Amino acid sequence: MGMIGYYTALPEEEIQQLVSRTKMLEDLDPYNREYLDIDKSWQALYYMLSGDISDGEPPLSYVIPMDQDNLLEFGEFGAFYLTPPQIREAYQAIEAMTRDELLAKYNYNEMLEEAIYPLYGDAEDGEAEQFFDYLYSYFNDIRKYYSKTIVEGKGLVFYIS
C-alpha cells in the first residue's frame, strides 16, 4: 500500500467555505464524491513539472497542488485546494503540452537522486521509459479532469491517502 493522490472537484461555494474555514473538508465528505485517482504519480509529476520537490512556481505547481498557502487540515497529510481561476491558469499551462515537451522535463536519474516518491532502483531494463509512460498517462488524466472541472465551474481539492 502506498500514498495515493486524489482530486475531488467541489462547487466554488464549498471551496470558499474551506478557504474561510467555515467548513472542514471532512464535513464535505470527499471520499463519497466523484474523484480522480492518480495513484503514486503525484510527487514525481510535481517534480517533473515544477523542477522542485515542494516549492515550484505557479502555474505548473498548480497541476499537483501542494502550496502551503492552500493547505487544509485533512487526514495525515492534509489537503490542498485550488480555486477556479487557479485551475484555469494550470490548465492553460498544460493544455497544449506535448509528450515531447513533457519528456524534455523528465530526468529519471535526477528523480532517483532526489528520492522522489515512488522511485527506487536504477534506470536499467527500460524502467525509466516505463516510469515516464506511467507519469504521462496520469498527466493526461489530470489534464482531462482539469478541463472538465473548468467546464463545470468548480474548484478542487487534492489529497493523499
CATH of the domain at 35: 3.40.1760.10
Percent of the chain topping pLDDT 90: 86
Contact status, residue 102 vs residue 136, Cβ threshold 8 Å: yes
Strand 35-37 with 5-11, pairing: antiparallel
Structural domains counted in the chain: 1
Helix (H, G, I), strand (E, B) or coil at 134: helix
Task: Domain of residue 134: give its range.
Answer: 5-160
The whole-chain average pLDDT of the chain stands at 94
Contact status, residue 41 vs residue 134, Cβ threshold 8 Å: yes
pTM over 0.75: yes
C-alpha cell at 1: 500500500
pLDDT at position 123 over 70:
no
Rounded Cα distance between 158 and 144, Å, is 15
pLDDT of residue 1: 60
Mean pLDDT value of segment 128-135: 95
